[in-house]
Structure 1
Amino acid sequence: MKVLAAMSGGVDSAVAAARAVDAGHDVVGVHLALSRMPGTLRSGARGCCTIEDSLDARRAAERLGIPFYVWDFSERFRDDVIDDFIAEYAAGRTPNPCMRCNERIKFAAVLEKALALGFDAVATGHYAHIVTDDSGHRELHRASDEAKDQSYVLGVLTSEQLAHAMFPLGRTPNKAAVRAEAEERGLTVAQKPDSHDICFIPDGDTRGWLADRIAPAEGAIVDRDGAQVGSHEGATSFTVGQRRGLNLGVPAPDGRPRFVLEVRPSSNEVVVGPREALAVRELAGARFTWAGLDPVASGIAVADSTAPDAVAEFACEVQVRAHADPVPARARVVPSAEGVLELAVTVEEPLHGVAPGQTAVLYVGTRVLGQCTIDRTVSAVPATAS
């Protein structure tokens, strides 16, 4: 099989490429150049997709004896990830750029080009694995190493993308084993630190970075009843769950701290309230996809005859952050108030600090069933109760 190995310059993707070679595949390595201006992406060992990383990826490919290329995806990355990140914050949402990068760059743009060039699959160093059922359908599952499991950020993959994806590290017991294997193979990235945070914000100051791109405007900070309790210099600098830096002029009646509950860009308001109001009992989103067969075809849900294309409620677990614990839930696909189908999830125990723009990934056991970008949440504590 002809395999394109996406090589970030880290140890995981290097070992994944090596294992694809060992499996007898015809492997070609590729590094994605995501910026034409090196200073706009973080440099150093903790970076991602920097000049140093491209050189590390090239050295690894040379060690493995495979062809290596650099593909310029800077314009696509800017349009689909960076601009989307800015637009989401301007709309009062909290996006996950790594989800968008996996969805639109690594498993859309790259896979599209790979298939056009005659490749059969794209291999990456993600920690997740694919299971093929008796009928030949592919399912995405958690990695063997729970601490390194990356199935959450892969929850955006569709059945078509899974059909051409390879994750050689999925059943590896832990990261230490990957580093040891890299040492044995003579790969210079064996002890290279993992990348962290957002690659296109060089100093990690997200608030300052956004302030340079979204013109701040003064507005009101209000409580859940709409009464003004403070003011702000720009709503986009606030995130759900934030406590510090709220600049409140009116204390809460009970004297307790207030937290950001909601950002309303249309009115330029920031809504604050008690900690318990951060508890969410329901979330929903119209932008949803299934990672493989949908719930009806999988046999875990039935079609809802009263609503075309909708499915009856089914049991699952939902995870709203990359390293959060999944919680038991009931999910369903139903028409929203606007008449658009949305994935709605009711949790059995409240989730805390969930914001529109985040991604909710559904699991059934270790299997990733699908995901949605959260459009709205319902607090477990009514406004009148706080």
Structure 2
Amino acid sequence: MSKALVAMSGGVDSSVAAYLTKKAGYETIGVTMKLYENETAGICSDKTCCSLSDIEDARNVAYDLGIPYYVFNFTGNFEENVIDRFIRAYEEGKTPNPCIDCNRYLKFEKLMERGRELGQDYVVTGHYAIVEKDPASGRYLLKKSVDRHKDQSYVLYSLTQEQLAHVMFPLGGMCKEQTRKIAEEQGFVNARKHESQDICFVPDGDYAAFIRRFTGKDYPDGDFVDQEGNVLGTHKGIIKYTIGQRKGLGLALPHPMYVCRKDMEKNQVILGENRDLFHSSFEIENINWISTEPPKGEIQVEAKVRYSQKASPAVVHPLSENRARVEFREPQRAITPGQACVMYDGEYVVGGGTIVNVFNTENDTL
């Protein structure tokens, strides 16, 4: 009998994933990863994952299923690979995606490593995505889930071939309401539990306050300037602002203006019109190729630069095995350094990487 370790966050998705794994005949154990102390977040909130109440919910479901349950302490790994990267990105003027880093370095690296030590064949999560094996190439493929509103292939683009061979996503072929229905039928305590949309360690959404509190650093005020360099007002610390932001600037302006870029050396936040946010060309690095070996020449894909965005036609020009230039056919809004660009061929993930440079219409780096 194959053995499967299920990552149980205390939410309904991972609980149903555990149920389906056991039902499919796997020798199943449940595990919750303790990623941070509640004091780290500065707030005790039911909106966070990995809280004490989440651990109790996961434990209760594991008990109902009759499977062993453990809590693994990964707080040190999480701080190093997620929180520190999160802070460093903002200090460099980028906008990070900590969920992608958590998947890359915790769920599918550290947890998989621990699973191997325990003799487990698979790591199972409640992500909405599908893994298939291509009989022609022998490669493992990552496919969009059946539920388009819940599809999480975007945040899973970093999965390697070795990892894809040893992960299972039981919910990939289901819709969310089916998941809820199964949980209710099984009497799970979390069947109608609130679904968190927040960064787990910043449950109140004030990431700038979290960074100040965590680092003990002060991020000084500076100038808001327009595209010509004219001073429009004073910002309250450059880490507070993200590309595309309009609200919360604290300025009385004659018309709406948006954060278009940040000059970290000058401590300036550059504002512009909505049209100034649209660009077509950018570079990505640290690319993980899934459906193909690193291509030698340009390829046609559909790509998206945000989780919630619809994928749009683009051309990828490889610069090396793990770096490429991407050209959208139509300009896209707020392409942001630090975020992920994920490339698709229909239903399948071709690969993805981190956005590093965005170019204006003259091909100069912004």
Q: Tell me the residue number matched to 1:306.
A: none
- Is 1:179 the counterpart of 2:180? The answer is yes
Distance 1:347 1:25, change over 3 A: same
Q: Distance in 1 between matches of 2:322 and 2:140?
A: 25
| TM-aligned CA deviation for residue 232 of structure 1 | 2.4
Q: How far did residue 226 of structure 1 move? A: 3.6
Question: Is 1:266 matched up with 2:265?
Answer: yes
Is 2:327 the counterpart of 1:346?
yes
User: Do the aligned residues in 1 keep the contact of 2:38 with 2:51 (CA within 8 Å)?
Assistant: no
Q: Taking structure 1 as reference, are residues 382 and 329 closer, same or farther at Cα in structure 2, changes over 3 Å only?
A: closer
Instruction: Count residues with an aligned counterpart.
Output: 360
Q: In the alignment, which residue of structure 1 is the partner of 2:240?
A: 237
Shift of the 189–240 alpha-carbon distance from structure 1 to 2, 3 Å rule, reads: same
* Contact preservation (8 Å) 1:279, 1:380: no
What is aligned with 2:357?
A: 376
CA displacement, residues 28-62 of structure 1 (integer Å, 9 cap, x when unaligned): 11001112345737645432111000010011111
- Report deviation, 1:104: 0.9
CA distance in 2, matches of 1:126, 1:220: 42
- 2:30 match: secondary structure: strand
Partner of 1:216: 219
Residue 286 of structure 2 aligns with which residue? 287
Q: Distance in 2 between matches of 1:42 and 1:178?
A: 30
CA 1:90–1:129: 2 relative to 1, 3 Å: same
Q: How far, CA to CA, are the matches of 1:247 and 1:180 in structure 2?
A: 45
- Aligned equivalents of 1:7 and 1:247: distance in 2? 41
| Letter aligned with residue 293 of structure 1 | T
CA contact (8 A) 1:41 1:49 kept: no
Partner of 2:56: 55
**Which residue of the partner structure matches residue 316 of structure 2?**
331
Displacement, 1:321? 1.4
The residue that corresponds to 1:191 in the other structure is: 192
CA distance, structure 1, for counterparts of residue 42 and residue 130 of structure 2 = 30
Which of residues 158, 162, 167 in structure 1 aligns to 2:169?
167
Q: Contact (CA 8 Å) 1:122, 1:165: kept in 2 or not?
A: yes
Which of 284, 300, 306 in structure 2 is aligned with 1:315? 300
1:309 corresponds in structure 2 to none
- CA deviation profile, 1:169-219 (whole Å, cap 9, x unmatched): 0001x1111111112222221111212211111322223223433421232
8 Å contact kept, 2:10–2:57: yes
Which string of whole-angstrom CA distances, capped at 9 and with x for unpartnered residues, describes residues 40-94 of structure 1?
A: 3764543211100001001111111111100001111111111111110011000
Mean Cα deviation higher: 108-117 or 368-377 = 108-117
Deviates more, 1:62-71 or 1:181-190: 181-190
Structural mapping, 1:88-107, within 5 Å = 88-107=89-108
The structure-2 alpha-carbon separation of the partners of 1:268 and 1:282, relative to structure 1 and needing over 3 Å to count, comes to same
Contact 1:294 1:369 in 2 (8 A): no
Q: Which moved more, 1:25-34 or 1:199-208?
A: 199-208
Q: Structure 1: how far apart are the matches of 2:319 and 2:239?
A: 31
Asked whether the 8 Å contact 1:218–1:233 carries over to 2, the reply is yes
Normalising to structure 1: TM-score of the pair?
Answer: 0.87
Name the counterpart of 1:299: none
**Which secondary structure state, in structure 1, belongs to the residue aligned with residue 298 of structure 2?**
strand
Tell whether the 8 Å contact from 1:42 to 1:199 is kept in structure 2 after alignment: no
Matched-pair contact (CA < 8 Å) for 2:287–2:322: no
| Cross-structure match for 1:4 | 5
Counterparts of residues 58-207 of structure 1 (less than 5 Å): 58-135=59-136, 136-172=138-174, 174-207=175-208
Report if the CA contact (8 A) 2:11-2:54 is conserved: yes
Q: Is the 8 A contact 1:328 1:348 kept in 2?
A: yes
Residues 126-182 of structure 1: CA distance to partner in whole angstroms, max 9, x if unpaired?
Answer: 00001111143210000001011111111121212111110000001x111111111
Give the TM-score normalised by the residue count of structure 2.
0.92
Aligned-partner residue type, residue 243 of structure 1: R
State whether residues 47 and 203 of structure 2, in contact with CA within 8 Å, keep that contact through their aligned partners in structure 1.
no
Sort the Cα spacing of 1:221 and 1:45 in 2 relative to 1 into closer, same or farther, 3 A: closer
**2:332 is matched by which residue type in structure 1?**
L
1:319 deviates by: 1.3
Q: Match of 1:20?
A: 21
* Shift in Å, 1:27: 0.9
Give the corresponding residue for 1:307. Answer: none
C-alpha deviation, 1:258, in angstroms: 2.6
Deviation at 1:228, TM superposition (A): 3.5
Mapped pair 1:29 → 2:30: yes
CA separation of 1:186/1:247 partners in 2, compared to 1, >3 Å: closer, same or farther? closer
